Structure 1
Amino acid sequence: MESAVLLRCPICNAVHTLEGGRNEYSKRDLYSSAKTHLRGHDLNEPKMAIRKYGIVSDATEIVVPSGKYRQLPIEEWRERDDTWLPGGSLFGGEGSLSAPESSVELSSL
């Protein structure tokens, strides 16, 4: 089993994972990843800051089987429908986590 940090854009629902556990990343690292993605949404700076902090506060650490790890969207942000994520790892429509499957561990950050 391997850990990854899952980020989700509240604007377009794209997802991105960072290799390793949450404790390996500072908030500055997570903010940087979120800001890079949000630039593509052409938001003014105050709106970008609000969204950036939202993405980081909703970051979730997931643990997946080693054989599935390379299927995560690690290289870039991807549309949710265009990538594999373990069941139960995505945020629900109201910002809450959906129920995890028994093979996937989640921890809210």
Structure 2
Amino acid sequence: MLGWDPAIDLSAIYDDLTCLTPGWSFLEHPENRLSGIYKAMARRAWSSTFRGRALADAGHWLPGPCLAYLESGAKISTLGFSAFYITSGLLGRATETTSVRLENTKLAVRNVYVREG
């Protein structure tokens, strides 16, 4: 979240746990007023730093810090995947459990839900 801690009341979020429609996401439901949250986070990334180095300058992403940020994320994913592989016993499902989907697609249902706040 790049140091961003937005004040969101999860108990007021509407989510349809039974909806399988491709494209559905609680982020886009009008009553939740979260449709612009992704854009706000992207704007925040433009002015953020990673390990003391800016991610962007003069309207352009800087390859070095951006690649370091992505490599850090890949390392965390690898560690998570390894933990599932060693401890869960569900070797074929590790790729499902280590991914984050906020929106339904034709091939997969999202795996982030808001239930009772």
Q: Is the pair's TM-score, using the shorter chain for normalization, greater than 0.5? A: no
TM-score (norm 2): 0.25
Q: Answer 1 or 2: which has greater helix percent.
A: 2
TM-score (norm 1): 0.26
